[in-house]
Structure 1
C-alpha cells in the first residue's frame, strides 16, 4: 500500500506546492532530495504512523527540485528561498511548529529553516546531507551539463533509460538498488514532460552555492532543541566529516549510522530510519515540547 498517493495543491506566495499527508497529530514535515518528490518517504510514513498507533501527522511536500508539478517560475529557488517555502507551507497549513526531517538537499533546506526560523522547528533530523562548505562533485557536473544549450530536453530523454538511471551521477549514486519503475516514473514525469519544470530545475542548480551552508551550518549552534544526524556508512555523495561536525555543532545533536544504504536512506533502507525517527519523536515529546502545534 502506498500511503502517499493522495496529493493536494497548497497555494503559497511562491506558487502552488503539491503536498501529501498521512496520519493526524504531531506534525512531521519530510523534505526530499534532488529530482525526487514526497513519494520518497512512502515506506517511512506508513511504518512511522502505523507503528506509533497514531498521534503523528506526516507531511511530505513536493519541493521544486526537479520532480514537482506545476512549475513555479516566480519562486526563489535558492536554499533560503526554498526554506521560506517550507515556512510558508507551515503557515498555510496552520502549523506553528513541526519536526523537520530532511534528506539530501532537503537536509540543506531544513538546516536553513532551523537556523533562520528556529521557533518553527521543534525537532530537527538531517539524513545524509550537505553541511558547512561541502559541494558534491556529481551536482557540480550536473550543473555544468544542464547549462549547455538544448541540454534539458536531451537529458530528460536520456534519464528515462535504465542504464543512465544507475550511473553514479544520477540515481545510481543516491541508491544502492534500482528504484521501482512506477516510482521512478513519478520522479521523472515532470522533468521529462514540462519545459517549465526543466527551467525551474536549472534555476535551482544555477543558484546552488556552498556559501549558503558555510554561513548557515555553524549557526545551528544556536538551535538548542532535539536534533539527530543520520548517516549511511556507505554514503558516497556528501563528505563523511560533515556528519560528526553537524552533531557536535547542534547543542542537543546525536549521530546515528545506518548500514546497507547510500544517501537516500528512506528509499534504500527505510526500516532502521523508521526506528531512529520513532525514538527521536519520543525525545521531542520528552523534552517538553508542546504537543499541540496547530495555530488557532
Structure 2
C-alpha cells in the first residue's frame, strides 16, 4: 500500500482546493476527478493501492468536501477550468484524467479543449447525457428542495443506489459525511449546471485515447448511454464489469487499477516525454 498525503493547491482568484497525492514520483501522472457531492475520499480505495507505475492526484472540487466554497461557478466548464488550473498549480504537464460519474464531464471537457495536457481519458460510470435519465426528475426535485442543514436521510437515500454489492461500511459512511459538507446551494447549482449544459456537445473533439469503464448493474446509466460515448469518441473502448453498480471503483478497486495501469502503459508510459 502507498502513503496518501493531503495537500492544498492554490488556484486562481484565491480559490484553494485540497488534494490527495499518492504513488511514485516517476510514475505516470493520473488525476482523479470526482462527481457531485463527493471529494478526494471517493478515490481512497485506489490511491492506497496504486502500483509503482502510477502517480495519483485527487483534487476535491470547489464547494465540495473541505474545498473553498465560492458563491458561484458550479457549471461543468467552471470545474473544467479549475482542473486545468490544478494541473498548473501542482506542476503537471500532461496527465491521464480519470473521471467518475459527473466528474467525467469536466474531465472530457479538458480532454477536448486542452489535448496537450491530457495523455489519456478514463471515464468510470460517466453519463453521456443526464436530462433524459428516468431517475433525474425525482433527483432534481429532491435536490431543489434542499435547505441547510442538508438532512442526512436524504444523502443516505441518494447514496443507496450507488453500488450493486456491499462495500466497506466505513467507505459509505465516509462518503455520506463528505456529502453532508456541501451547502444546499452547491448541490443545487452543480446539478443545475449539469442539466442545463449540452452534455452531448462535451463529447465532441476528443482525440486522446479514451477508455470507458461501466458496471452493468448501474441503476443510473444504461448500456445505450455508454454506446453514445463510444460513437462520439473515435477509438474509445468499453470495459463492462458484470454485476457492478454505478461507482465501479468502490466495488472493484483492484480491477479498476489493473485496467488503468494497462491503459497507462499503452498510452502514457512513465518515461514518456512531456508527462511532467
Q: TM-score, normalised by structure 2?
A: 0.87
Tell me the residue number matched to 1:213. Answer: 199
Tell me the residue number matched to 1:44. Answer: 46
Gap change, CA 1:146 and 1:2, over 3 Å in 2: farther
Correspondence list, 1:27-176, <5 A: 27-49=29-51, 54-64=52-62, 67-132=64-129, 135-148=132-145, 151-153=146-148, 155-159=150-154, 165=156, 167=157, 170-176=158-164
Pairing partner for 1:237 from 209, 220, 225: 220
For structure 2, list consecutive stretches of 5 or more residues without a partner in the other structure.
none
| Contact 1:232/1:260, CA 8 A, preserved across alignment | yes
Tell me the residue number matched to 1:249. Answer: 232
Higher mean C-alpha deviation, range 10-19 or range 94-103: 10-19
For structure 1, list consecutive stretches of 5 or more residues without a partner in the other structure.
none
Gap change, CA 1:75 and 1:153, over 3 Å in 2: closer
Q: When the two structures are aligned, how many residues end up with a matched partner?
A: 273
Q: TM-score, normalised by structure 1?
A: 0.82
Give, in whole Å, the separation in 1 of the partners of 2:159 and 2:2. 21
Give, in angstroms, the shift of residue 136 of structure 1.
3.3
Give, in angstroms, the shift of residue 261 of structure 1.
1.2
Give, in whole Å, the separation in 2 of the partners of 1:56 and 1:104. 22
Deviation >3 Å, runs of 4+: 1-4, 132-140, 177-186, 188-192, 288-292
Give, in angstroms, the shift of residue 146 of structure 1.
2.8
| Contact 1:22/1:58, CA 8 A, preserved across alignment | yes
Give, in whole Å, the separation in 2 of the partners of 1:200 and 1:63. 11
Deviation sequence 1:169-222 (CA, Å, 0-9, x none): x11211124554443443333553x5x7332222212322254312211x1xx3
> Alignment partner of 2:186: what SS?
helix
> Alignment partner of 1:21: what SS?
strand
Give, in angstroms, the shift of residue 68 of structure 1.
1.6
* Larger helix share, 1 or 2: 1
RMSD: 2.6
Tell me the residue number matched to 1:13. Answer: 12
> Alignment partner of 2:32: what SS?
strand
Give, in angstroms, the shift of residue 82 of structure 1.
0.4
| Contact 1:134/1:238, CA 8 A, preserved across alignment | no
Give, in whole Å, the separation in 1 of the partners of 2:3 and 2:163. 21
